[in-house]
Amino acid sequence: PFDQKAPVGPEENAGLVARLIAVIIDVLILGIVDLLVVYFTMQISGVGFLEFGVLPKGPLVAFLIVQNGGYLVGFTAGGQTLGKMALGIRVVTADEAEPISVGRALRRTLLWTMLAIPAGLGFLTALLSPDHRGLHDRLAGTRVVRASACPAASAWGTASHSVKRPPAVPATRRS
């Protein structure tokens, strides 16, 4: 999985800026959902902010792991998280450029999480390699490619072509 061969398939590897912004979008979405769940849990329980410590930590941590992990695995198995959709990039297999399985998405998510914890040191391979694949991508056998020509993606250099629109239909007069 550490080879530097050119990827198979017509897709072009996604740029680092697009990948970073997609991660920021995903972290913001997850953070907002997590905060809302904790807030409403505290409201339903009648617990104030200063009493946060009385909430049972086990169920709360379990929920956050399932919710955040489910988001990342579920969306990655489809090829795109919401952040990747917004930036027009997607995750595919490294060799065939096909959608990834749930098992591969889980492996990629677990590796991504483990490598993000020590100050993002596992992502240096994405900065230093010409194909911009992080260590988590290499170990999971995946890569991130440009996937669409959405306007947001064009602004960050992730789209390879413009959106094609159908020809305009001439207006007819009503009698």
What is the pLDDT at residue 75? 82
The C-alpha atoms of residue 140 and residue 153 are separated, in whole angstroms, by 25
Asked if residues 144 and 89 have their Cβ atoms less than 8 Å apart, the reply is yes
Whole-number pLDDT of residue 25: 95
Give me the sign of the Cα torsion angle 63, 66, 72, 76: negative
Please give the Cα distance from 68 to 133 (Å, whole number): 23
Full DSSP string of 32-78: HHHHHHHHHHHHHHT--GGGGGGS-HHHHHHHHHHHHHHHHHHHHHT
| CB atoms closer than 10 angstroms to residue 150 | 15
H/E segment holding residue 140: helix 135-140
For 144, phi then psi, to 5°, come to -110, 130
Largest CA distance in the chain: 73
Please say if the pLDDT value at position 21 is more than 60: yes
CA angle (29 as vertex; 25, 34 as ends), nearest 5: 145
Q: Which helix (H) or strand (E) holds 145?
A: strand 142-146
| Mean pLDDT on 163-174 | 51
117-158 residue pLDDT tens: 776 776 788 888 888 888 888 888 999 898 853 334 344 443
The stretch 160-165 carries a mean pLDDT of: 38
